[in-house]
Amino acid sequence: MINRETGLSLPVDTSFADIRLRLQAFISALIVGDFQQLVNLLYRVDVNERKLKYLLQENVGEDAAVIIAGLIIDRQLEKIASRREFKNESPIEDDEEKW
């Protein structure tokens, strides 16, 4: 399985812990090697910039890749929940209400 936003390839049976570790390693590589690509990724994934800045300032000395990976995972889980919520909504029956 290849993630569209990161381009990371992961087997379907990959554990959540392994996904987190691989994402952290990927983020670390971007911090060092291609910061602009990291910024683009955060924009595409729609990570909250204020939240990111706050967490980085509050956790000085912590590995930034761990913080960023956590935010990316949280955002992706929010998107999944949102999609499920909208998918489960019943369709509008009244033709005038559809548009």
Residue range 25-45, pLDDT digits in tens: 999 999 999 999 999 999 999
What percent of the chain has a predicted confidence (pLDDT) above 90? 64
Q: What angle do CA 16, 12, 35 make, to 5 degrees?
A: 60
Across 1-10, 44-53, 79-88, the highest mean pLDDT is recorded for 44-53
Highest mean predicted confidence (pLDDT) among 9-13, 56-60, 83-87: 56-60
Helix axes 35-45, 64-88, angle to 10 degrees: 20
Predicted confidence at residue 92, as pLDDT, reads: 59
- Does pLDDT of 49 surpass 60? yes
The Cα 21–Cα 33 span in angstroms is: 18
